[in-house]
C-alpha cells in the first residue's frame, strides 16, 4: 500500500543524499545467507568472501552504522576457525563494527531445511509450481528446528531497543518464536522476497496455518508488490480463524498482536551500476565478444538468470526460435547471449532444467546456425560485476521472461547500467513489471508468437523511441533504488514502533535521545536474495 504521507515526518527525509540509510533502532538482521564467508585459500590461509551486490552489500553498511548483529547460517569452510565459542565474529574485516552471529547447521539440517522444505516445498508453492512440490515429512521438522535455532540466536541479541529484521521464506516460523520471547518493545519485521501465492496454491503447504501464524509474529511484513499483500491477506482470512483482516489498512489483528502488511518494491544500487558501467570501455566488451565468439557487428540481446524453473528460460529460447523462424532477417544478424547461474543443483527439478536448457540451445543452434554464426551463446561461467556491466551496457536489449518472479533485480540492474540506451523485454508476471510500467516491452512468456513479435519490435524500434523509453525507466530505477527501499522499510518499522509506543504508553521513538542507533561499536549487540 502507498506509504501514508500524512503520518509523522520520516527518518529518511532528514537524511542527506548518499548518506547510509538509518535504521530506527539497533538492527538484528537474520537471513539464511551470511554477508561474509570465510574459506581456505589455495595456500591454506584464510580468505574472506565479501558481498559484491544486492541486498547483502546494501545492508552491510546499514547494520554497521546501527552497531547491530547479523545472524546467518555459517556455511564457509573456515567459518568456525575465525568465530569465537559462541559462533560470533566481528565484521566487516578491518572495520569490525558489527557482530556476525553464525548459526551452525549439520548437513542433515541443511538438506531438510534448505534443500528440503524451503526449496522443494515453499519455493514451488509460492511460484505456483504446485506439480514440482517434493514434500518429505522430515523436512518440515528440520524447517521448524532451524527456525527455532535462528529464533534463539535472535532472542540472545535482541533487547527493547532492537529492530529484528528477518529476510525471506527460509525463516517463516521464527517471527512468532521471537515475538513470544523478546520484550514487548522490540520490533519484529520481515521482508518476503518471493511472491505470495493465491489461496488455491497455498492450500498445498503442509501445516500452512502454522506458517501464517509464524509470519503473524511480525509487527511488519513486507512484500514487493500490492498483489502479494492481497493474496497474503486472502490466505489469512481463509486459513487463520480468529484473525481479523482490515483491508483498508492492511493490518491483521490476532490475539493481542497486530501485523501491518505493506508493499515496498525493492530496488538496486542504481548509482553503482551506472558508475561501473561507465567505467567499462569497449575493449572489455570486445574481449567478451572474442571469448564467446560473437560476430563483430551483430545485434545482441542478453538474459542473465539463476538456472531456476521459475525464470522462463525454455520459454525464452522458444521465442528466440520463433523469431528466427518467422523474422528471417535476423538470421546471421542477431545473437542471444544467455548467462545461466547454476543453482540448487542438489534438487532434481533444477538438474532437469539445466539439461533441458543446454539441449534446447544445442538444438536451436543446430537448426539455424551456420559456419560463421551461432544464434545462441550459452554460458554458465561466473561473471564479475565488471563483466556483467559490460554485457548490460553493450547489449541492444535484455530479455527477462519469468513465469513468476517476486521482483527481478536483473531487469533493474540492466536499466541502471544502460548508460547508452537499450530496450527491456519483460514478463508481465514479474513484480518488476508492476513497478516499471509501460516503458518496458511487456510479454507473456507462454505466448510464444507474441513474445517473438515483441522481441522483434524492441530490436527494430526507432532509436528515439528506445531512448525515450530507457530514459524514463532509468529515472524510475534511480528514484526507487535500494536506499529508497530501505528507507521505506525503516519508515514503516518506525511507524510500527511509534504505534506500539502509543499503545504501551510512550516508548521512545526513533531519533530520541535514548535511541541507541547512533552508538555503533564492535560486538555491541544484528537473496536476501538467494545468491545461489
List interacting residues with ligand GDG (CB under 6 A): 53-54, 193-194, 266, 304, 306, 339, 341, 382-383, 385, 388, 405-410, 413, 527, 529-530
Cβ proximity of 313 and 307 under 8 Å: yes
Considering beta carbons, is residue 54 or 67 the nearer one to ligand GDG? Answer: 54
**Minimum Å distance from CB 123 to ligand GDG?**
9
The rounded distance, in Å, linking the Cα atoms of 285 and 419 is 14
Considering beta carbons, is residue 67 or 402 the nearer one to ligand GDG? Answer: 402
**Minimum Å distance from CB 268 to ligand GDG?**
7
The rounded distance, in Å, linking the Cα atoms of 324 and 54 is 35
Where do we find the cell 519469468?
A: 402
Considering beta carbons, is residue 413 or 439 the nearer one to ligand GDG? Answer: 413
**Minimum Å distance from CB 56 to ligand GDG?**
10
Show Cβ contacts of residue 381 under 8 Å, excluding neighbours closer than 6 positions.
339
Considering beta carbons, is residue 350 or 368 the nearer one to ligand GDG? Answer: 350
The rounded distance, in Å, linking the Cα atoms of 83 and 36 is 12
**Minimum Å distance from CB 406 to ligand GDG?**
3
**Minimum Å distance from CB 400 to ligand GDG?**
8
Cβ proximity of 351 and 341 under 8 Å: no
Considering beta carbons, is residue 112 or 267 the nearer one to ligand GDG? Answer: 267
**Minimum Å distance from CB 305 to ligand GDG?**
7
Name the 3-class secondary structure at 522: coil
Report the sign of the C-alpha dihedral through residues 215, 216, 220, 221, in that order.
positive
**Minimum Å distance from CB 191 to ligand GDG?**
8
Cell numbers that stand for 204 in this block:
498445498
**Minimum Å distance from CB 154 to ligand GDG?**
21
Considering beta carbons, is residue 104 or 382 the nearer one to ligand GDG? Answer: 382
**Minimum Å distance from CB 272 to ligand GDG?**
12
Where do we find the cell 525463516?
A: 171
Show Cβ contacts of residue 280 under 8 Å, excluding neighbours closer than 6 positions.
386, 389, 390, 393
Q: Is 250 left (phi over 0), alpha (psi -120 to 50) or beta?
A: left
**Minimum Å distance from CB 189 to ligand GDG?**
15
Cβ proximity of 32 and 193 under 8 Å: no
Beta strands in 173-322 (DSSP E): 187-191, 220-223, 244-246, 251-254, 257-263, 299-306
Considering beta carbons, is residue 1 or 57 the nearer one to ligand GDG? Answer: 57
- Cα separations in angstroms, 118 against 134, 174, 201, 526: 11, 13, 16, 23
Considering beta carbons, is residue 196 or 239 the nearer one to ligand GDG? Answer: 196
**Minimum Å distance from CB 304 to ligand GDG?**
5
Neighbours of 9 (CB within 10 A): 9
Considering beta carbons, is residue 385 or 498 the nearer one to ligand GDG? Answer: 385
Considering beta carbons, is residue 234 or 434 the nearer one to ligand GDG? Answer: 434
The rounded distance, in Å, linking the Cα atoms of 348 and 266 is 30
Considering beta carbons, is residue 192 or 330 the nearer one to ligand GDG? Answer: 192
- Tell me whether residue 6 is exposed, middle or buried, using C-beta atoms within 10 angstroms of its C-beta: 0 to 12, 13 to 18, 19 or more: exposed
Name the 3-class secondary structure at 302: strand
Show Cβ contacts of residue 318 under 8 Å, excluding neighbours closer than 6 positions.
360, 448, 451
The rounded distance, in Å, linking the Cα atoms of 190 and 31 is 10
Which of 189, 151, 183, 166 shows the shortest CA–CA distance to 496? 189
Amino acid at each position: 500500500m502507498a506509504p501514508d504521507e500524512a503520518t509523522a515526518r520520516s527518518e529518511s527525509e532528514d537524511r542527506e543524499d548518499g548518506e547510509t540509510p538509518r535504521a530506527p533502532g539497533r538492527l538484528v538482521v537474520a537471513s539464511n545467507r551470511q554477508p561474509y564467508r570465510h574459506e581456505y585459500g589455495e595456500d591454506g590461509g584464510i580468505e574472506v568472501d565479501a558481498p559484491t551486490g544486492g541486498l547483502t552489500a546494501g545492508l552491510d553498511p546499514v547494520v554497521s552504522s546501527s552497531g547491530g548483529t547479523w545472524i546467518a547460517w555459517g556455511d564457509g569452510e573456515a567459518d568456525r576457525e575465525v568465530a569465537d565459542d559462541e559462533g560470533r565474529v566481528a565484521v566487516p574485516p578491518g572495520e569490525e563494527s558489527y557482530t556476525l552471529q553464525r548459526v551452525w547447521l549439520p548437513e542433515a539440517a541443511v538438506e531438510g531445511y534448505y534443500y528440503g522444505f524451503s526449496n522443494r516445498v515453499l519455493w514451488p508453492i509460492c511460484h505456483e509450481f504446485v506439480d514440482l512440490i517434493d514434500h518429505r515429512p522430515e523436512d518440515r521438522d528440520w524447517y521448524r528446528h532451524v527456525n527455532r535455532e535462528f529464533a534463539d540466536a535472535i532472542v540472545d541479541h535482541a533487547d527493547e531497543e532492537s529492530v529484528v529484521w528477518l529476510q525471506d521464506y527460509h525463516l517463516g516460523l521464527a517471527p512468532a518464536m521471537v515475538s513470544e520471547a523478546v520484550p514487548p518493545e522490540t520490533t519484529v519485521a520481515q521482508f518476503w522476497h518471493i511472491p505470495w501465492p493465491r489461496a488455491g496454491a497455498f492450500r498445498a503447504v503442509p501445516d500452512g496455518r502454522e506458517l501464517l501464524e509464524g509470519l503473524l509474529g511480525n509487527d511488519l511484513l513486507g512484500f514487493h508488490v500490492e498483489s502479494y499483500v492481497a493474496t497474503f491477506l486472502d490466505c489469512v482470512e481463509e486459513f487463520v480463524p480468529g484473525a481479523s483482516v482490515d483491508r483498508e489498512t492492511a493490518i491483521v489483528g490476532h490475539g493481542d498482536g497486530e501485523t501491518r502488511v505493506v508493499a515496498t518494491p525493492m530496488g538496486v544500487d542504481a548509482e553503482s551500476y551506472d558508475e561501473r558501467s561507465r567505467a567499462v570501455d569497449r575493449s572489455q566488451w570486445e574481449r567478451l565478444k572474442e571469448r564467446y565468439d560473437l560476430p563483430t557487428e551483430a545485434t545482441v540481446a542478453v538474459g542473465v538468470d539463476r538456472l531456476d524453473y521459475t525464470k522462463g528460460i525454455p520459454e525464452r529460447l522458444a521465442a528466440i526460435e520463433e523469431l528466427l523462424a518467422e523474422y528471417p532477417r535476423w538470421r546471421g544478424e542477431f545473437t542471444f547471449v544467455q548467462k545461466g547461474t547454476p543453482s540448487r543443483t542438489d534438487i532434481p527439478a533444477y538438474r532437469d532444467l539445466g539439461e533441458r536448457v543446454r539441449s534446447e540451445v544445442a538444438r536451436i543452434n543446430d537448426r539455424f546456425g551456420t559456419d560463421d554464426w551461432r544464434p545462441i551463446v550459452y554460458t554458465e561461467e561466473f561473471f564479475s560485476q565488471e563483466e556483467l556491466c559490460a554485457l548490460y551496457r553493450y547489449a541492444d536489449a535484455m530479455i527477462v521472461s519469468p513465469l513468476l518472479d517476486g521482483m527481478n533485480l536483473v531487469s533493474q540492474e540492466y536499466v541502471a547500467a544502460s548508460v547508452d540506451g537499450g530496450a527491456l523485454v519483460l514478463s508481465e508476471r514479474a513484480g518488476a513489471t508492476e513497478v516499471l510500467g509501460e516503458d518496458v516491452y511487456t510479454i507473456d512468456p507462454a505466448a510464444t508468437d507474441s513474445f517473438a513479435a515483441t522481441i522483434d519490435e524492441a530490436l527494430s524500434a526507432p532509436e528515439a523511441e528506445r531512448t525515450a523509453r530507457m530514459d524514463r525507466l532509468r529515472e524510475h530505477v534511480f528514484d526507487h533504488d535500494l536506499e529508497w527501499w530501505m528507507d521505506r522499510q525503516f519508515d514503516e518499522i518506525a511507524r510500527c514502533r511509534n504505534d506500539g509506543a502509543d499503545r504501551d504508553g510512550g516508548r521512545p521513538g526513533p531519533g530520541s535521545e535514548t535511541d541507541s542507533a547512533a552508538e555503533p561499536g564492535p560486538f555491541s549487540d544484528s537473496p536476501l536474495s538467494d545468491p545461489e
